[in-house]
A and B are shown apart, each in its own frame.
Chain A
């Protein structure tokens, strides 16, 4: 019996055994692909005003509009094809989620690992700040920052990062603190290797498993946090509608029977977040030595 050699291939062999997680992973990949290729797969460019007709607004799913094609999921108050709007909305939501996730991952893990490696006052300073911030609800912090910075993608990402880096810092700190005491780090320090080499080649790679787990969950979180902000009208400008804004746009019509305008973007959002979380759970289970067989 040959064991797959690289850690990545062993990881995939184990991942494959959980069917639900594989399905979730496929959903995530498909949604990302849809977002990337939204202009190619959408029946309509929902933001090209020339394509829109007010005649077509708020039509139910299955309606054949003036464009000559069927609006599978109906249309919104501006007469946009909802399916196309969701694809474009996914694009913005995922973009912002990933960007915020990666920036917080970088900043957070750098701070956490530095605190654990250097120790002393730096450790106390960084980690108290992080603790202080973790005692604050993320949404409240994001709201305040967006209100201060104003609207726009960069501002929104900044707000999301400020609200989330602390989780990464905490996780990276915990992992690095545990790894720091292990013999292989001591062996590297005793060679002697420079601190930079020890951190980059040994400490960081061994702290990645828990960080990847937190990253998947936090990307899902930033997507829903962004949707929340957009829903409240504090997210992106109307010209860049994310899923949250689509939901918000349809909200006034919910009670008048035109449920689809809010519900379908909402369903898309839920599927995306649930799928990411299932993948994240499986990744966490595989990284957790206690659950290993």
Chain B
């Protein structure tokens, strides 16, 4: 087994707001091997985006990492200064956001922005920088790349803009890229193109990828490993195919069962009752218990992560098994 390129242990990121402490990320642990793609799945408010931001040291006031360790290629990130973090951001770990409009500067050409991103970490001649930029644009599927370097963001379509953002994230061949719902705003045909390309890019460059998404189907066709988040915690993690075929956590099972494709057309879908709890007023014990059909008195206590056979789940009553049989 290769050493993980990124290792997150017991990460907790809390926000200290006027209404109380929001435990956006609460005890999250995972490892990522070089070139591996991990899907981080959850609903809004599950903490998946904050987890991504924590990895890059981008959590703003009133939030901060209160506990845990993030080791990127052997270096502990949580104790680094802002300046040292900045040196690593973009070079060793970078991020792609949902909305490329917000991340690209409308006043600069694509070439200028890529040049700035290169200059942040390296000294390159103008020609070398342009060559590298053009090569990356080509790699992410932008036709006539060297000519497009002189274009402004508004001259690109939404899908093309996202490709540019991906190219910028790839400039320094980072060890890890965190992609936060990068295809959610795009059309399915464009999404399929980008998913396909990202898979190849990760394999070619050895860059590990964390793909944050609310869409199980998207992640299932891309990631080899899956982590499902609910109310700030990872409730289940493991190899994608195993986890989808044989979910242990009732929430994962519910998410899969509720997909329209799982039920005959026109008939009622399997639904998870209730709504996602507010992080400000989480129920005691297992946060999913109030919506869970298997919940018992035992669920008033918070379940620890159980691990066996390369996967983990945070539940006292794993679906289809007795807890004893699994451990």
Contacts and interface: CB of A to CB of B under 8 A. Distances in A.
B17 A1 contact: no
Contacts of A17: 18
B280 A1 contact: yes
B266 interface: no
A9 to B, nearest CB: 15
A290 interface: no
Interface in B269-322: 280-281
Chain B binding surface, main DSSP class:
loop
Interface string B1-44: 00000000000000001111000000000000000000000000
B281 A1 contact: yes
Contacts of B280: 1
Nearest to B280: A1
Chain A binding surface, main DSSP class:
loop
Contacts of A182: none
Nearest to A13: B18
A19 interface: no
Nearest to B17: A293
B1 to A, nearest CB: 45
Given A1-B280, A1-B281, A293 B20 contact: no
Contacts of A293: 17-18, 62
B97 to A, nearest CB: 19
Nearest to A3: B19
Contacts of B19: 1
Nearest to B20: A1
A17 B17 CA distance: 14
Interface string A258-293: 000000000000000000000000000000000001
Q: How many of chain A's residues touch chain B, expressed as a range?
A: under 10
A14 to B, nearest CB: 9
Interface in A1-20: 1, 17
Most chain A CB neighbours (cut-off 10 Å) among B18, B62, B281: B18
Contacts of B18: 17, 293
Interface in B79-99: none
Interface string A9-40: 00000000100000000000000000000000
Interface string A187-218: 00000000000000000000000000000000
Contacts of B281: 1
A160 B18 CA distance: 42
Contacts of A1: 19-20, 280-281
B284 to A, nearest CB: 15
A17 B18 CA distance: 10
Interface string B178-219: 000000000000000000000000000000000000000000
A293 B18 CA distance: 9
Nearest to B278: A1
A158 to B, nearest CB: 46
A1 B17 CA distance: 13
B63 to A, nearest CB: 11
A293 B22 CA distance: 13
A118 to B, nearest CB: 31
Contacts of B17: 293
A52 B205 CA distance: 94
A1 B281 CA distance: 8
A17 B19 CA distance: 13
A52 B17 CA distance: 60
A146 B62 CA distance: 53
A178 to B, nearest CB: 19
Contacts of B20: 1
A196 to B, nearest CB: 37
A130 B281 CA distance: 50
A263 to B, nearest CB: 42
A145 to B, nearest CB: 44
Interface in B39-96: 62
A26 to B, nearest CB: 23
A291 to B, nearest CB: 14
A124 B88 CA distance: 54
A17 to B, nearest CB: 8
A1 B277 CA distance: 13
B148 to A, nearest CB: 33
Nearest to A17: B18
A233 to B, nearest CB: 51
Q: Which 7 A-B pairs have the closest CB atoms?
A: A1-B281, A1-B280, A293-B18, A1-B19, A1-B20, A293-B17, A293-B62
8 contacts: A1-B19, A1-B20, A1-B280, A1-B281, A17-B18, A293-B17, A293-B18, A293-B62
Interface of A: 1, 17, 293
Given A1-B280, A293-B62, 6 more contacts: A1-B19, A1-B20, A1-B281, A17-B18, A293-B17, A293-B18
